[in-house]
Amino acid sequence: MIESILYKTAIYCRLSLDDGSLGESGSIQTQKMMLEKYCRDNNFTIKEVYIDDGYSGLNFDRPAFKRLIADIESGKINLVITKDLSRLGRDYLQTGYYTEQYFPLHNVRYIAVNDGVDTLIDNNDIAPFKNILNDMYAKDLSRKVKSAKRQRALNGLFISAQTPYGYIKDPTNKNHLIVDEDVRHVIELIFNMCVNGKGAPTIAKVLEEKGILNPAAYKTLKGSTRFAKLQGTNHYKWKAVTVRKILTDMVYCGHMENGKYKVENYKTKRRVKVPDSEHIIVKNTHEAIISEETFETVQTVLSARHYPAHHEHENLFKSILFCECGKRMAIAHKVRNNKKDTFYKCANHENNPHECPRSNIIQYHQIKTIIEKEIFGIIERLRHSEKVFESYVNRIKKDESKDKSSEIKKTESRINTLIKIASKLYEDYASDLINERTYKELLLRNKQEQDLLEQKLQSLRNVHENVTYKLMRLDQLKHEFNRFLDNVELSSDMVNSLIERIELSYYTKAEDGTKHRRMIIKYKFIDDSL
């Protein structure tokens, strides 16, 4: 009954889209009911319920989870309960960080009901292995999902979440497209204008002048919530890039083209463009809006106008490059004298100048050169200086651990001795061998020493756990870098596997008139304390 008063309990439920195959037992509602019953049975009073529905366990950037962490920081929560460890997360390093380091450092008890994990009780030896198994499960699941998607693509099925403008999903078969008759004429108009020599910017202007809703606005009108954030913008404003995308999509002549992008890293879920030669094309899968002859004519017209390939450069730093204002920077292109200039810029400056007061732009080749030099420099040092890494590891062990295990044992032994002394003092007092005043004085001293030793013990354990965690992360970092020892060129896999975040500051002018900017590279498996 004491526990229900002392503990401010949070139950956390998570379900990813991939977990939907688990059926009712894996549903959010079932998780919640199970955990509520567990709390009733164990006299835990629930302070708050946190639910992340449709979020992957590999990514801890979840709204409810972030709210839970904020509430822990403020002291609102000191007990977290999940159905099992996988609900907390499937990335074994990140999950291990919360269970082995974050929760203990914040005096938060953690219980994973089905796995029998309770950080209050010394029964957590299995937790690291469970975390690794959950991570392996996520990797295997990702592989199976990829395989299933590929097979469906080879069968000519529509497998995307969003239908292309001009089509809707067949009510009787969600993997089959049917023509959206309300905008068929718009698609025909776009292709006819191109055949007659009009370029994408001109076509976009004509569509705006005719008062035709752009695809985002049209889909919002039809009930889509994906583009809700665009409310308030010009619903009739068409972009040239949108027009070009329509003009180059063979879906409009009745063919299905899948596999344009792939997810290289199952943890980051980052998509990268696949070469055109590797796309999966199945012909005549649905009704065409324009003829194949018209489509081919349009491709010839577009080629003759010398439109540069939109993705000449692989977007290596997508989703990891951030402006000083905190927003992600996006890749952009400009054509000058028939040559394409590719760069990253912060769009927040144009859209919200009060949040991003200065323009922040960096050339693609410039940032690529910097990151290549940085990463390959580390790889080269690892290749030729294995001893350097080992000496760094040994220094961490020596400087921060310094026989902490022995000191922990000594401190625990002294605490146990003090407990026995306190018991003996009571016996002496009860037997009238010492008076009450002496008993209370000695007992107070005993308690004061115990309190100091308990604080020292907690500090020693925290240092010990922190060192263990650091060494684990360093070993993982070394492993990731070693994977790329034979690479000669920067790849998206390298960037995604090694780098967590790149922060780019605004330019500042020095006294001599020269301009400078900072670029901070935050590697995965390395925190600020390393």
Structural Rg of the chain based on CA atoms: 30
Query: Is-contact 527 473, C-beta < 8 A?
Result: yes
pLDDT digits (tens, 9 = 90+) for 175-228: 889 999 999 999 999 999 999 888 888 999 999 999 999 988 888 888 776 655
3-state SS track over 419-474: HHHHHHHHHHHHCCCCCHHHHHHHHHHHHHHHHHHHHHHHHHHHHHHHHHHHHHHH
Residue 350: per-residue pLDDT: 78
Domain ranges of the chain: 2-145, 155-307, 378-523
Q: Rounded to two decimals, what is the model's pTM? A: 0.38
pLDDT digits (tens, 9 = 90+) for 80-114: 999 888 888 876 567 777 887 788 888 899 998 88
User: Shortest CA distance to 487 belongs to which of 498, 500, 473, 472?
Assistant: 498
Residue 127: per-residue pLDDT: 45
Pick the CATH number of 155-307 from 3.90.1750.20, 2.102.10.10, 1.10.1040.10, 3.40.50.300: 3.90.1750.20
Residue 71: per-residue pLDDT: 92
DSSP string, 281-321: EESS-S--SS-HHHHHHHHHHHHHTTPPPTTSS--TTTTTE
pLDDT digits (tens, 9 = 90+) for 32-61: 888 998 998 888 889 999 999 888 777 788
In this predicted structure, the answer to whether residue 352 has a pLDDT above a threshold of 60 is yes
> Distance of CA 27 to CAs 17, 23, 24, 347, Å?
11, 7, 5, 39
Residue 4: per-residue pLDDT: 38
Which tokens go with 437? 């005043």
Residue 514: per-residue pLDDT: 86
Residue 12: per-residue pLDDT: 95
Per the prediction, the chain carries an average pLDDT of 78
> In the block, which residue shows the tokens 């099925």?
157
In this predicted structure, the answer to whether residue 529 has a pLDDT above a threshold of 50 is no
Residue 407: per-residue pLDDT: 81
| Residue 308 banded pLDDT, cuts 50, 70, 90 | very low
User: Shortest CA distance to 51 belongs to which of 35, 37, 40?
Assistant: 35
Average pLDDT over residues 357-362: 91
Residue 67: per-residue pLDDT: 92
**Length of the chain measured in residues:** 530
In this predicted structure, the answer to whether residue 135 has a pLDDT above a threshold of 80 is no
Lowest mean per-residue pLDDT among 73-77, 322-326, 416-420, 509-513: 509-513
% pLDDT > 90, the chain: 20
Average pLDDT over residues 134-149: 54
Give SS3 for 170: strand
| Of residues 114 and 231, more confidently modeled | 114
pLDDT digits (tens, 9 = 90+) for 322-335: 999 999 998 888 87
> Distance of CA 162 to CAs 169, 183, 207, 227, 231, Å?
9, 16, 22, 11, 19
> In the block, which residue shows the tokens 């960037």?
495
| Residue 229 banded pLDDT, cuts 50, 70, 90 | low
Query: Is-contact 504 362, C-beta < 8 A?
Result: yes
| Of residues 307 and 420, more confidently modeled | 420
Residue 399: which residues within 8 A CB-CB, separation 6 or more? none
Residue 435: which residues within 8 A CB-CB, separation 6 or more? 429
* Residue 1 burial by Cβ neighbours in a 10 Å radius (0-12, 13-18, 19+): exposed
Query: Is-contact 130 82, C-beta < 8 A?
Result: no
Phi, psi (degrees; rounded to nearest 5) at 501: -165, 140
Residue 466: per-residue pLDDT: 63
Average pLDDT over residues 408-416: 85
In whole angstroms, what is the distance from residue 501 CA to residue 322 CA? Answer: 7
User: Spelled out in words, what is the top-level CATH class assigned to the domain 2-145?
Assistant: alpha beta
Which tokens go with 325? 């204002």
Residue 343: per-residue pLDDT: 92
> In the block, which residue shows the tokens 């108009």?
189
Average pLDDT over residues 386-398: 58
